[in-house]
């Protein structure tokens, strides 16, 4: 079959790498793609958020199946446009994608489903929000309601931080995403990510992961889009995973179906685990980046069969063929990230790393200049490896990092520390 993947980061490189290994895949196109993806698939210039443009492209290129990587095209209704045109698509409708694009919507759905999450209140007025924060006290969490690329959340340890956060959000720092504010009870515990596929009805777990948000070793420095990840996450034990399915994920999915907006695609549940109890922090309606890289490395070619089963409503008969393995990915970023960084530095040593089904460098922000590979973004490479143990996966990943010659880049040296 002919397959189109929308997106152009490390997540989409990992999806392309896994899908390409499946003999069902004939032609693979990624839009917009990147320099690493170009080595294994065709890249197409296309606006992934424009439903009409994506549909027209699919019709011209006889695309049989579309996999949507990032959240923005989903929130923009691209999956609806594709399904409306009779094109098979992996990814939720715009209405179901509100589980990521609106925090208050998610809270309402969780309350209706009885899914455990932090206590919350919603405000569209600054003074009322401030009065609530003063009454509740710190620590407390203040969030812009809409999508703000992970920057609209203030985990306030003091009252002053919470009040300043409200001023910032209502002051317009996040535009329309901050027209409403959700104020949440602070949850303590350890965070982990739980990934399931959903076909509208059936929920199929496909793995757990933990990421590393801070830029520096030992979880220090500013927040980033993620500096590394590993799978599985030991804190999300089989018992906790079962509990999260029973109390959180399945009830939420049943509530979405009851509302007439069943969910189809991957659902990424961010969980907070404390004393053997899991509560929901947030849902995302797409794979995490870089969590997708470790999941795809573990799933390999069967990923395509699973995504197809979700899109075609056949998850009840689908099975994951688990290898009892571990995968770990180290993000290499341009010096200066997450602050200002330079673009255009050359990355050498990528050839001859001996990439195979146990070790791959997925490209995030790269650009080809003839035969040279140049850094083109903040997070640039995802050096990913798999092993019988996490320690083995970690050693393999860092051996590749050390073989890459890129003075303009850096990485954390402690990815996986929580589990090791
Ligand atoms: P991202 O895209 O980075 O996941 P987001 O904008 O979708 O962020 P959330 O996931 O809701 O926002 O919050 C970001 C982070 O803030 C969480 O990963 C968690 O560490 C912390 N956080 C959010 N809500 C709470 C809470 N109620 N208690 C404690 N920590 C929280």
CATH number of the domain where residue 145 is located: 3.30.1490.20
Domains of the chain: total: 4
Residues 163, 131 share a domain: yes
Ligand 1 atom nearest to CA at 281: 24
Tell whether 112 is covered by a domain.
no
Q: Please tell me the distance between residue 56's alpha carbon and the centre of ligand 1 in angstroms.
A: 37
**119 Cβ below 6 A of ligand 1:** no
Q: How far is the CA of 374 from the centre of ligand 1 (A)?
A: 32
171 domain-assigned: yes
Which one of 282, 285, 289 would you pick to mutate in the ligand 1 pocket, going by the greatest count of ligand atoms within 8 A of its CB?
282
Residues 242 and 136 in one domain: no
Atom of ligand 1 nearest to the CA of 147: 6
Tell me the pLDDT of the chain averaged across its residues: 96
Give the CATH number for residue 13: 3.40.50.20
150 Cβ inside 6 Å of ligand 1: yes
From the CA of 274, how far away is ligand 1's center (Å)?
16
Regarding whether 299 and 223 lie in a shared domain, the answer is: yes
**Boundaries of domain holding 357:** 326-419
- Whether residues 288 and 370 share a domain: the answer is no
Kindly state whether residues 310 and 231 are assigned to the same domain: yes
Residues 379-408 have pLDDT tens digits of 999 999 999 999 999 999 999 999 999 999
Mean pLDDT calculated for residue range 322-351: 95
The closest residue, in CA terms, to atom 5 on ligand 1 is 150
**75 and 166 part of one domain:** no
277 and 216 share a domain?
A: yes
Per the domain annotation, does 366 fall within a domain? yes
Q: How confident is the model at residue 356 (pLDDT cuts 50, 70, 90)?
A: confident
Q: How far is the CA of 153 from the centre of ligand 1 (A)?
A: 6
152: pLDDT strictly greater than 90: no
pLDDT over threshold 90, residue 146: no
Query: What digits encode the pLDDT tens for the residues 288-320?
Result: 999 999 999 999 999 999 999 999 999 999 999
Q: Are residues 366 and 386 in the same domain?
A: yes
Q: Does residue 104 form part of some domain? A: no
Are 278 and 309 found together in one domain? yes
* 313 and 331 assigned to the same domain: no
User: How many whole angstroms separate alpha carbon 323 and alpha carbon 297?
Assistant: 11
Cβ of 138 less than 6 Å from ligand 1: no
Classify residue 110: in a domain, yes or no: no
Distance 355 CA to ligand 1 centre (A): 34
What CATH number does the domain containing 289 carry?
3.30.470.20
8 and 71: one domain? yes
Q: Is residue 116 part of a domain?
A: no
Distance, in Å, from the CA atom of 211 to the CA atom of 192, rounded to the nearest integer, reads 8
Which CATH number does the domain housing residue 411 bear?
Answer: 3.90.600.10
* Mutation to probe ligand 1, out of 281, 285, 292 (largest number of atoms < 8 A from CB): 281
Peptide bond into 258 cis (omega under 30): no
Q: Is residue 184 one of the residues assigned to a domain?
A: no
How many whole angstroms separate alpha carbon 364 and alpha carbon 231?
19
Q: Where are the beta strands (DSSP E) in 69-175?
A: 88-90, 120-123, 140-144, 153-156
Q: In the structure encoding, which two tokens stand for residue 79, read together? A: 């999956």
């Amino acid at each position: 079959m002919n397959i189109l993947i929308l997106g152009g980061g490390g997540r989409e490189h990992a999806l392309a790498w896994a899908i390409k290994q499946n003999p069902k895949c004939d032609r693979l196109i990624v839009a917009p793609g990147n320099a690493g993806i170009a080595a294994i698939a065709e890249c197409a210039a296309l606006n992934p958020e424009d439903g009409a443009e994506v549909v027209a492209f699919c019709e011209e290129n006889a695309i049989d199946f579309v996999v949507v990587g990032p959240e923005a095209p989903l929130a923009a209704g691209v999956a609806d446009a594709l399904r409306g045109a009779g094109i098979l698509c992996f990814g939720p409708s715009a209405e179901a994608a509100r589980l990521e694009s609106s925090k208050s919507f998610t809270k309402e759905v969780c309350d209706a489903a009885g899914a455990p999450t932090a206590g919350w209140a919603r405000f569209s007025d600054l003074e009322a929000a401030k009065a609530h924060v003063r009454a509740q006290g710190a620590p407390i969490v203040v969030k812009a309601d809409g999508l703000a690329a992970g920057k609209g959340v203030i985990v306030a340890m003091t009252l002053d931080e919470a009040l300043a956060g409200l001023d910032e959000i209502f002051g317009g720092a996040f535009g329309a995403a901050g027209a409403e504010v959700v104020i949440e009870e602070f949850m303590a515990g350890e965070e982990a990510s739980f990934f399931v596929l959903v076909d509208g009805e059936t929920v199929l777990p496909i793995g757990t992961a933990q990421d590393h948000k801070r830029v520096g070793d030992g979880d220090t420095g500013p927040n980033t889009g993620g500096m590394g990840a590993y799978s599985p996450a030991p804190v999300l034990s089989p018992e906790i995973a079962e509990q999260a399915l029973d109390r959180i994920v399945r009830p939420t999915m049943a509530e979405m179906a009851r509302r007439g907006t069943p969910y189809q695609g991957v659902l990424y549940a961010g969980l907070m685990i404390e004393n053997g109890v899991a509560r929901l922090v947030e849902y995302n309606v797409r794979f995490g980046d870089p969590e997708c890289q470790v999941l795809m490395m573990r799933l390999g070619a069967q990923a395509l069969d699973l995504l197809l089963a979700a899109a075609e409503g056949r998850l009840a008969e689908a099975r994951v063929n688990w290898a009892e393995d571990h995968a770990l990915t180290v993000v290499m970023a341009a010096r200066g990230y997450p602050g200002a960084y330079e673009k255009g530095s050359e990355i050498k040593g990528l050839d001859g790393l001996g990439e195979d089904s146990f070790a791959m460098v997925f490209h995030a922000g790269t650009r080809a200049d003839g035969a040279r590979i140049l850094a083109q973004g903040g997070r640039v490479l995802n050096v990913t490896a798999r092993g019988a143990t996490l320690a083995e996966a970690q050693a393999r990943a860092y051996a590749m990092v050390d073989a890459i010659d890129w003075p303009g880049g850096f990485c954390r040296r402690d990815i996986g520390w929580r589990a090791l």
